Amino acid sequence: MAGLPSYPFDPELLVGTVTEVGPTSAKVNLPHAASPEAQWHHGQRQGRGEVGDFVVIEVGDSAVFGRIVTIRLPEKERLSVEPELGKLREAHPVGVVQLLSTVTIHNGKVTGGISQYPRLGSRVYSAQSHFVQWIAQATSKDPATDKPVYLDLGSLVAANTAPVQLTPERLFGRHCAVLGATGGGKSWTVARLIEQASRFNSKVVVLDASGEFHTLGGAIRHVHIGTGPPAPASSEEVSFPYTQLTENDLFALFKPSGQSQAPKLRQAMKSLRLVQLESKLSSANGLCVKAQKAKQPIFDAQQKHAKKLEDPRADFDITRLPEQILEECVWPSGGTATAPDQSKWGGYQENEKGFCITLITRLEDMLGSPELAPVLKPGFLTPVADIINEFITGSKHRILRISLKYLSFAHSTREVVANAIGRLLLNLARDRKLTGCPLLVFLDEAHQFLDKSLGDEANRYPLDSFDLIAKEGRKYSLNICIATQRPRDIPEGVLSQMGTLIVHRLINDRDREVVERASGEIDRSAAEFLPTLAPGQAVMIGVDFPIPLTIQVSKPEAEPDSKGPDYQANWSREPEPEPKVMAVGSVLPQELVEITDDDVPF
């Protein structure tokens, strides 16, 4: 965006003079800040020195752009604003301006940071709304196409008539995070971003943890994992079969103890995969029986199928797993204590069976659980992996929404499946399947899936797929946009990878501290405004943004279903009358006694 929209140093907009300069801020005399009214300039309201106002400081051939963060009176003048006999005494307010960026006047180039500092006595001017809008949307270079793609996110809070339009590269090119407390407008912003992306030839996957984005329409495909009423009605029930999980995923689900159960579980999985590859090793009930059997045939089969056995996917009959664990509880050698036979296994070892009985019971319970059926008993439902592959390679849809609403939290199933979906997307990216087709992933309620690990101290199974996407996905055309109401639960290493932060109201001081550390020193002052943001308002901070920008996010066409309970409608109803319970031996009222012929003694 070449050229300035207007000359920024309008004498009518002069608000003060610089009196002190620091590395990141400057103190300014603001003689008009005590004025009871603002100034109007060309039909627009201009602050004359108010907290939150944007200003430009004249520095030779450059303009330093900043924001007023504090205003005060000198201590000796603090009573000067008190009325005295209907008059106000003269006041000399002083403000602090946070220095944000530099604008080169002759070519209109905007650069983040300060390349030339103001001098003492430099003049300070109020920044017009269209100038603020221009700086917010300015980039180091114009898009390389004649018809660039812009996403219409909202408008400046300072001037509702000034829209904010940003390129996808600036919003998502270095990943994005939407942060905010409950009721601040986080879901509204996510819905707006998805709708704007769907206007173009995009590919967007939405992992909907709560099911609130079922209202989205257009070129979108809705699927859900787990059994429940489809929302919307066109949503298709799908599965994530255990055969697409890894051994670590299953260990995270089954939670074997590290010393006795984990080795038997691992060997049982390997044996079941072996009998599937080498049918002659299978018994009548599909098991690999080892008790009193020769070792060599199994060793030969393991060597023959070594490459397939090393495949991390769990491709075996999981219904046989409890029984196969018992088949692994054998002595390591046959024969007798005085004459051991190392060529075959010995008989069953009852002590090891006893150690594994709790694991076997847990497995049998999980295999019969309807809540885990989408994973352990998927039936003929379409796997999520097939849906994703079709979506990327040839689907007419632009948005794929995967609802996790009906996927149980029991045994950490939801976290394990979501992590497996992330790993699937990352593997597709690493295999260069996204070249020419950038994929954007929205992860709602991200605190449920990031910085998670399962297991005990002896065996930890990190769920790190989305962490890896944040760290390396960008170079493979895979970007992520996380949304959460608990920034403090997001690893700082992940949050620091987010090039763009869209931050709604945050009240918790720990959440604000995390945002401050992630956004850097130059944007730290913006965090001070977070507790006062109105619903739908957000501060945009990022490495590709020359200034922190407060915007009003536009209403999405389809608002997400994120309403809480309606207490007025439910609590105002009259309670149902409680049925009367008669005590044993009590006499019924006369009007309730029905006399029949059988009651008459004659």
pLDDT given at position 389: 94
Average pLDDT over residues 9-23: 90
When computed from its CA atoms, the radius of gyration of the chain, rounded to whole angstroms, is: 33
Per DSSP, the three-state class of 89 is: coil
The owner of tokens 């004359």 is: 48
Beta strands in 175-245 (DSSP E): 176-179, 204-208, 220-225, 236-238
- Domain co-membership, 399 together with 536: yes
Least confident of 75-89, 325-339, 377-391: 75-89
User: Is the pLDDT reported for residue 143 higher than 80?
Assistant: no
For residue 242, pLDDT over 90 is answered with yes
- For residues 138-152, give the mean pLDDT: 65
For residue 232, how many other CB atoms are within 10 A of its CB?
A: 12
What would the pLDDT profile of 446-502 be if each residue is shown by its tens digit? 999 988 888 777 678 888 999 999 999 999 999 999 999 998 888 888 888 898 999
Do 275 and 326 share a structural domain?
yes
pLDDT value of position 82: 66
Could you tell me if 489 and 451 are in contact, meaning their C-beta atoms sit under 8 angstroms apart?
Answer: yes
Residue 583 lies in a domain: no
Task: Please report the pLDDT score of residue 502 as a whole number.
Answer: 92
pLDDT of residue 460: 81
For the ranges 32-36, 162-166, 440-444, 446-450, the maximum mean pLDDT occurs at 440-444
Say which CATH number the domain at 421 has: 3.40.50.300
Structure tokens at 4: 């300035």
76 and 56 in a single domain? The answer is yes
Question: In this structure, are 258 and 218 located in the same domain?
Answer: no
Per-position DSSP letters for 125-160, written without gaps between them? EEPPHHHHHHHHH--SS--SSSS---EEEEEESS-T
Q: Which of 306, 329, 362 is the last residue of a domain?
A: 362
Is the per-residue pLDDT at 384 higher than 70? yes
Q: Is the pLDDT of residue 391 over 80?
A: yes
- Residue 127: domain span: 11-137
Same domain? For 285 and 399 the reply is no
Residue 384, H or E segment? helix 384-393
pLDDT tens for 119-138 read 999 999 988 877 887 877 66
Residue 388 lies in a domain: yes
Residues 546 and 409 in one domain: yes
Asked whether residue 5 is domain-assigned, the answer is no
Res. 601: pLDDT tops 90: no
Residue 354's CB is within 10 A of a number of other CB atoms, namely 11
Give how many domains the chain has, as a whole number. 3
Q: Give the CATH number, domain containing residue 113.
A: 2.40.30
Whether residues 193 and 322 fall in one domain:
no
Domain assignment of residue 598, yes or no: no
- Cα separation, 399 vs 199, in Å, equals 10
Alpha-carbon gap, residue 587 to 568, rounded angstroms: 41
Among 362, 394, 429, the domain-final residue is: 362
In a 3-state reduction of DSSP, which class is residue 383?
Answer: strand
Assigned domain for 452 exists? yes
The packing angle between helices 247-254 and 350-367, to 10°, is 90
Angstrom distance (rounded) from CA 554 to CA 189: 8
Of 86, 116, 137, the position where a domain reaches its end is 137
Residue pair 310/345 in contact (Cβ under 8 Å)? The answer is no
Q: Does residue 84 sit within a domain?
A: yes
Residues 385 and 506 in one domain: yes
Sign of CA dihedral 102, 103, 109, 110: positive
pTM of the entire predicted model: 0.83
Is the domain of 220 the same as that of 277?
Answer: no
Picking from 321, 410, 344, the residue whose alpha carbon sits closest to that of residue 374 is: 410
Q: Answer yes or no: do 398 and 543 share one domain.
A: yes
For residue 1, pLDDT beyond 50: no
pLDDT of residue 140: 41
Contacts of 127 (CB under 8 A, 6+ apart): 8, 13, 53, 54, 55, 56, 65
Written as one string, the DSSP assignment of 483-525 is EES-GGGS-HHHHTT-SEEEE-----HHHHHHHHHHH-GGGGG
The answer, yes or no, to whether residue 303 has pLDDT greater than 50, is yes
Place of tokens 């592959």: 389
Q: Are residues 280 and 225 in the same domain?
A: no
**240, pLDDT greater than 80:** yes
Rank 89-103, 219-233, 574-588 by mean pLDDT and report only the highest.
Answer: 219-233
Q: Indicate the pLDDT class of residue 432, thresholds 50, 70 and 90.
A: very high
CA dihedral sign, ordered 440, 445, 447, 449:
negative
No. of H helices and E strands in the chain? 16, 25
The answer as to whether 293 is a domain residue is yes
- Burial label for 418, CB within 10 Å (0-12, 13-18, 19+), is buried
87 or 568: which leads in pLDDT: 568
- The sign of the CA dihedral 522, 524, 527, 528 is negative
Are residue 236 and residue 259 in the same domain, yes or no? no
| Lowest-pLDDT choice from 88-97, 116-125, 553-562 | 88-97
CA nearest 57: which of 95, 92, 91? 95
| Residue of 461, 429, 443, 431 whose CA lies nearest to 246 | 461
H helix or E strand, kind and range, residue 388: helix 384-393
Residue 79 lies in a domain: yes
| Summary mean pLDDT of the chain | 84
Confidence of residue 411 (pLDDT cuts 50, 70, 90): confident
Give whole-number Cα distances, 332 to 265, 303, 328, 348, in Å. 16, 19, 10, 10
Q: For residues 204, 207, 213 and 217, what is the CA-based torsion angle, rounded to 10 degrees?
A: 30
Residue with tokens 């390389």: 144
Beta carbons of 63 and 122 less than 8 angstroms apart: no
